[in-house]
Amino acid sequence: MAIKAIVLDIDGTLLTTGKVVSEKTKQALIAAQEKGIKVILASGRPTTGMFELAEQLEMTKYEGFLVSYNGARVTDCLTKEVLFNQAMSVETGRAILEHLKKFNVVPMIDKEDYLYVNDVYNKDLQKVAADFKLEEFGSIIEY
């Protein structure tokens, strides 16, 4: 049976302990794609946090896929089309955030152009228009 796809987790699998893709791994994955094998990155990371790695692995050229948010979203690297998206409802998100107030954690919810977090001082949900930018396949996305 021929290999049709390689699905890789990012942290602790694809990346070295230095948080980079080794040159040997990069070349092996590009060679696999040249043979028609699809490369699919799967992670708990948000989609925007995966684009740079996809670019390094030439996944746009070879039409790879990104499975982000622990499987809740699938994105085509070539077209950037979201092929599958099963985000939780706003009500479920609020209930989870309310429950998490009992614990010493700082949850974050990514939605469109905003990142939602519980304020660590008064535990209220805040909408944060972040002051940083991410690069997505050469175009700047403002958050």
Surface-to-core class of residue 48, CB atoms within 10 Å of its CB (0-12 exposed, 13-18 middle, 19+ buried): middle
CA dihedral sign of residues 61, 80, 130, 11: negative
Catalytic residue, from 9, 110, 119, 131: name it: 9
9 is catalytic: yes
Round the average pLDDT of the chain to a whole number and report it: 82
Angstrom distances, CA of residue 5 to CA of 34, 39, 52, 128: 12, 6, 20, 38
pLDDT one-digit tens code per residue, 46-90: 898 899 999 999 999 999 999 998 999 999 999 999 999 998 888
pLDDT higher at 106 or 41:
41
